[in-house]
Amino acid sequence: MLLVIDSANIESIQDLAECFPVDGVTTNPAIITKEKKPFLPLLKEIQSIIGKERMLFVQVLQEYAEEMVKEAVYLKEEIGGNLYIKIPVTAEGIKAIKQLKQQGIRTLATAIYTPMQALVAAKAGADFVAPYVNRIDNLAGDGVQVVRDIVEAFDRCQLPCQVLAASFKNTQQVHGVGLAGVHGVTAGPKILKSLVEHPVTESNVKQFVEDWKLFYGEACDSVIHTQ
């Protein structure tokens, strides 16, 4: 399962990229504006941290297909690397996805709320679709079930598009989409870090060290340095 950072904060990305087996970074206009930095330099700085091999997702701002395509081509030329263009699943967005597919520019269809939106985007040529798990839950839906339905539909139709679930409030939602067969998740730094956090694990580690000290009377690092 792909693990993608949903952030444009340089410090958070640097920290997670050093510790976690992350596969890339997703951004959107709201995330970008929070950083209060020039747009392209910020994206290039993110790419310099994760490297050009890892995926970088950048969303277009235009409303109409022709302008979306122009913006996507510009971003590809300016940023390069393993870039994916995020396109909303409006009618104009689907049109843009079809055109970008013909030009060899990879896309992620974003703001997915239903399996049919995902299916149409995949048939149009999207490489990824991003269902909004927690936002679906907030609308009295079942975000995990929507992800499951999308994964099953893609399998039945033999579509190569991958499901990159987004919008998480807690680790249980991430666990749920993982069991549903999702291809990847993109989540904020706090959620990603919490995937490996557990109070019992921390207490176990402390107990191991205390047991060692009680018997040997020294910490592990002292033993390593004296060998």
Q: Which residue type does 93 have?
A: G
What is the arithmetic mean of pLDDT over 43-59? 98
> Is residue 222 scored above 80 in pLDDT?
no
> Is residue 224 scored above 80 in pLDDT?
no
> Is residue 226 scored above 60 in pLDDT?
no
202 vs 77, residue with greater confidence? 77
Catalytic residues: 86
Q: Which residue type does 54 have?
A: R
Superfamily of domain 2-196: Aldolase class I (3.20.20.70)
pLDDT grade, residue 3 (50/70/90)? very high
Could you tell me the two tokens for 184? 């990847």
Q: Where are the domains of the chain?
A: 2-196, 198-227
Pairing of strands 83-88, 128-131: unpaired
Q: Which residue type does 104 have?
A: G
Q: CA-CA distance, 41 to 209, in Å (whole number)?
A: 45
How does pLDDT run across 190-208, given as a tens digit for each residue?
999 999 987 788 788 888 8
How does pLDDT run across 121-172, given as a tens digit for each residue?
999 999 999 999 999 999 999 999 999 999 999 999 999 999 999 999 999 9
